Structure 1
Amino acid sequence: MSDPERVMSADVAGLAAAIERAAADLAVAEEPAGFVVAIAVSAVTDWTVETLVHSIATRKISPVEATRECLNRIERLDGNIHAFITVDADGALAAARSLEAELAAGLSRGPLHGVPLAYKDLCHVPGLPTSCGTRTRDYFMSPIECTAVARLREAGAVTLGKLNMSELALGPFGDNAHHGDVQNPRFSGRGGPVIG
């Protein structure tokens, strides 16, 4: 084993231990198809990535259920926080179903298998417009796929959609006159109450 492989192995072992500790907070109930529904103290959308990765890998929650939880939260809150420019609910659920079938067949693409993600609207995602946060590009469909998006998709990530941003990336705060200013998903406005 090379030095980088040893370091990676140690990192993975540490991550696995953290996942085990976080998963201890879950109570589970059996469900058909070998998946288990996680009944957590908090919502899936409040879990750490480590908890979600472990829960999918151990079938405490399915990729479809994790994706639905994320989509439900987006639907419930995005009108106030303006995090998304484009949500691809149908595409996300179709990808999650396919990834769930792979897990049921004993196939895993790695730790991101079935984990829902979204990408800044600068990244080209097949089938979704790339507006770069401006109205003049609302319908631009790129013929190419962003390398980072391609690698995450190949690793089994589920694409939820495209995230809002400062118009043409000309600002650090997510101010956007066209799609609404991005708000902190935990606090509305400046230090306001949690919007859960």
Structure 2
Amino acid sequence: AAAAAAVAAAEEGAARWERCASLRDGALAVSHLGFAPPEYGLQLAAAGDDGVVRFYSPTDTLALSGWELCNEAEALVPGAACTALAWCRPTGAGVHGGAGGGGSGGREGYASAAEGEAAPSPPMIVVGLTWSGRGGESDARVLAYDEAGMRWRVVAQLCTGPVAVTALAWAPNTNAAGGGVETIAAAIGTEAAVFRMEGYDGG
């Protein structure tokens, strides 16, 4: 009883979380979420059982209100379900206005880099997909935001096979020196597989 009273007292004085938005644009369950690196503004990627990755940004970043669906990327082959996702940390300086039209802060496209600084790399994510209707075929693919076309497009396939990719992690800072090296880890069954690519710029 004393322990319960102590917990209740602590909760009474603690800050409380409140729901400020409910984002629902698909009929199937959302299973994976990821906020973009701060260089791209406040942006949320949401993926789930319909195989679509949806990108949201709030119109008011202080009140976190008015979240809008600013873009979405569908699997190239219908019937997929998303099993994992991870953002890539950009290599250059500057702030992106939000991938998909405006984004947080209402700025479209990339902000100009300061003198002597590199321009920010385009937003990239890696997504795991599986198809139950195709014998459990699974893969992981890299998507990059195409500024000219204002859409996400597949730029590389990380791996493919019969075992689903259940978690993904994109290593930070491996490309900070401008060497064009990217590293991604993927949970594939009983393995933690590490993939590396040199000379990669998201194009």
Higher relative contact order (CA 8 A, sep 6+): 1
Please indicate, yes or no, whether the TM-score normalized by the shorter chain is above 0.5.
no
In proportion to residue count, which structure has more helix?
1
Could you state the TM-score of these two structures normalised by the residue count of structure 2?
0.24
Could you state the TM-score of these two structures normalised by the residue count of structure 1?
0.24
- The structure with the larger Rg is 2
